[in-house]
């Protein structure tokens, strides 16, 4: 099992940053996400989505099911299945003196080699930077 964790700070309050965790908005935020199809109408535990992602020519599709979604706790957790990188993702947002700190963690069911982990880490950082740019507009 492999794990990656990235962190970033956004100069906006948590209440403003939280809305950017809505998966349906991700294609607007970053070109990494091509399409998100909602199977359920809201972001809550049990909601399901089909995500099409891939910054390059190769696109991947996977299923997402929300496990926990609690703005008051600043926590979003979802399972990824049906794609090449099954596992879970967790977002933890905490208020800071200058905005909101984000900790974004991906757990993978399989052991991934360093080349794959490096590529995924770059994509995670790119998405976090895209999210920050959108939130701080």
Predicted local confidence at residue 46, as pLDDT: 94
Domain ranges of the chain: 2-135
Predicted local confidence at residue 16, as pLDDT: 95
DSSP per residue over 18-63, as a string? HGGG-GGGHHHH-TTEEEEEESSSSSSTT-EEEEEE-SSS--EEEE
| pLDDT, tens digit only, all 137 positions of the chain | 899 999 999 999 999 999 999 999 999 999 999 999 999 878 999 999 999 998 667 789 999 999 999 999 999 999 999 988 999 999 999 999 999 999 999 999 999 999 999 999 999 999 999 999 999 99
d(CA 73, CA 59): 33
Q: How many CA atoms lie within 13 A of 32 on its CB side?
A: 18
d(CA 69, CA 24): 14
Predicted local confidence at residue 55, as pLDDT: 66
Question: Residues 128, 10: contact at Cβ < 8 Å?
Answer: no
d(CA 29, CA 69): 20
Predicted local confidence at residue 6, as pLDDT: 97
Q: What is the pTM of this model?
A: 0.92
Q: Quickly name the fold that domain 2-135 has.
A: Alpha-D-Glucose-1,6-Bisphosphate; Chain A, domain 4 (3.30.530)
Predicted local confidence at residue 59, as pLDDT: 87
């Amino acid at each position: 099992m492999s794990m990656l964790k990235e962190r970033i700070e956004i100069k906006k309050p948590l209440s403003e940053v939280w809305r950017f965790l809505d998966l349906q908005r991700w294609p607007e935020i970053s070109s990494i996400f091509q399409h998100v199809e909602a199977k359920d109408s809201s972001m809550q535990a049990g909601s399901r989505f089909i995500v099409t992602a891939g910054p390059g020519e190769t696109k991947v599709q996977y299923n997402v099911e929300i496990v926990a979604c609690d703005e008051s706790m600043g926590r979003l957790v979802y399972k990824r299945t049906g794609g090449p990188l099954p596992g879970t993702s967790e977002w933890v947002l905490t208020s800071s003196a200058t905005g909101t700190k984000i900790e974004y963690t991906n757990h993978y069911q399989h052991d991934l080699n360093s080349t794959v982990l490096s590529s995924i880490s770059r994509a995670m950082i790119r998405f976090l930077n895209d999210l920050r740019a959108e939130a701080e507009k």
